[in-house]
Amino acid sequence: MDSGLNPIISSMLVSDFQYDLPPDRIAQEPLADRAGSRLLCLNRAESWQDRNFREFPDLLRSDDLLVLNNTRVFPARLYGHRSGQRAQSLSPHNRAARDFLRGRIEVLLTRQLADNPNEWECLVRPGRKIGVGEKLSFGGPPGSPPDAPCELEAEVTERGSFGERRIRFAAVPDFFARIERIGHVPLPPYIHRDDDRAADRDRYQTVYAQARGSVAAPTAGLHFTPEILDRIRARGIEIAEITLHVGLGTFQPVRVEKVEDHKLHREWCEIPAEAARAINLAKAEGRRVVAVGTTTVRTLEYAAEHSADRAGGDRVKAGRGEADIFIYPGYRFRIVDALLTNFHLPQSTLLMMLCALGGKEFVLDAYRHAVEAGYRFYSYGDCMLIE
């Protein structure tokens, strides 16, 4: 199968995607006004403009197809306790040891397994201390005392590297209701504060979120308001919705030296029949497909790569899958013509995707401009349009 990568591209180093970012450029809070973010507009004629996101509807072409990821974030960070012999075998002579003795743990649910809904892939802390067979219990809502009644119980069934585990929850009839009650908003680690239960549950969510399943927000969509969407529709611009549940594949760090050695985790995605028809018609008519967010790009390009009907005219097929496509410079885009995205971490797969679309040196130069111009970075930060 054609991977979409240009074979003449030589090996690249992860370090090639480094840029310097002062810590004070990392947004710790969302703006009071969702649509008040700044927008850096890039075109591939190697120029950029400083704009505002409120101008976004007018920057689109009247015949564009705008594609959104309608995934919904759920409170996937759980705090609980360990139990069993391992939790009782630790020395209580220092604070960390006392915490381990009490069995305090943090679990970030990252992916629900399709073949057994009670089993999840997750990240655990402290990772070194939690082995296969360990029993975990999760108590009351955020802020509850350690002896709060147990709401959920789980057992570790598989152990992976870098804190990755597979756990099996004891079956309960209202699992997600309990998760909503006791879970925390899974804010990224570069936001150095505790989640605010009410405010972050609203703002770390797009206004068009529908399908529950993400452990991180598709952050390019956080800038949209109902008013912005109404303005887009009023111009006659078509909007299609797909779903990709954000998991480890989107935010896992790259731990290899060569870009092509990195392997992505799979993330569940779906393209409804109506969206597939709109995408295929837009491509057939030579109209632009504008993706909102890197997760939308992954879904569309994964679908194009795995479509059995490409030779018959359809570029994407409706259906579900598990996207593991890794897009970096040298990739030939089949579907996406333009991208609205936030600013991403140095040496991340998301930055590599942007460089594949806009050109590595050009995108990195634009990032340096954004730093100097005071743009706000990452999840609650400003955004960029590459076209």
Reported confidence tier of residue 9, pLDDT bands at 50, 70, 90: low
Dump pLDDT digits (tens) for 76-122.
999 998 875 344 433 343 444 444 445 578 999 999 987 788 999 99
Lowest mean pLDDT among 78-87, 175-184, 243-252, 321-330: 78-87
Residue 162 to residue 156: CA distance in whole angstroms: 15
Residue 24 to residue 359: CA distance in whole angstroms: 27
Q: Residue 144 has what pLDDT?
A: 62
Provide the sign of the torsion angle of the four alpha carbons 288, 294, 299, 303, taken in this order.
Answer: positive
Dump pLDDT digits (tens) for 186-243.
999 999 998 986 899 999 999 999 999 999 999 999 999 999 999 999 999 999 999 9
Residues 271 and 309 occupy one common structural domain: yes
Question: What total of structural domains would you count in the chain?
Answer: 2
Q: Is 319 domain-assigned?
A: yes
Residues 128 and 239 occupy one common structural domain: no
Q: Residue 162 has what pLDDT?
A: 85
Residues 326 and 177 occupy one common structural domain: no
Q: Is 249 domain-assigned?
A: yes
In one-letter notation, the amino acid at residue 203 is: R
Q: What is the CATH number of the domain that holds 341?
A: 3.40.1780.10
Residues 67 and 208 occupy one common structural domain: yes
Residue 234 to residue 263: CA distance in whole angstroms: 42
Q: Quick one: average pLDDT of 342-350?
A: 96
In one-letter notation, the amino acid at residue 311 is: A
Domain boundary among 152, 182, 212: 182
Query: Residue 157 sits in which domain range?
Result: 77-182
Residues 266 and 366 occupy one common structural domain: yes
Task: Output 131 or 144, whichever has higher pLDDT.
Answer: 131
Helix, strand, or coil here: 378? coil
Q: Residue 307 has what pLDDT?
A: 81
Query: Over the range 279-291, which residues count as b (16 or more CB within 10 Å of their CB) and which as e?
Result: bbebbeeebbbbb
Q: Is 188 domain-assigned?
A: no
Q: Residue 4 has what pLDDT?
A: 61
Percentage, residues of the chain above pLDDT 90: 75
Domain boundary among 127, 147, 182: 182
Contact 324, 348 (CB under 8 A): no
Q: Is 9 domain-assigned?
A: no
Task: Output 310 or 321, whichever has higher pLDDT.
Answer: 321
Three-state SS string over 127-149 comes to: HHHCCCCCEEEECCCCCCCCCCC
Tokens representing 3? 């991977």
- 313 pLDDT exceeds 80? no
Q: What is the CATH number of the domain that holds 119?
A: 2.40.10.240
Residues 96 and 244 occupy one common structural domain: no
- 12 pLDDT exceeds 80? yes
Dump pLDDT digits (tens) for 266-298.
899 999 999 999 999 999 999 999 999 999 999
Dump pLDDT digits (tens) for 17-43.
999 999 999 999 999 999 999 999 999
The CA–CA distances, whole Å, from 103 to 86, 115, 178, 319 equal: 9, 30, 21, 42
Residues 310 and 272 occupy one common structural domain: yes
Q: Where are the beta strands (DSSP E) in the chain?
A: 38-43, 47-52, 65-69, 71-73, 77-83, 104-112, 119-125, 135-138, 152-159, 164-169, 211-214, 238-244, 267-271, 289-292, 319-323, 338-342, 383-386
Residues 269 and 375 occupy one common structural domain: yes
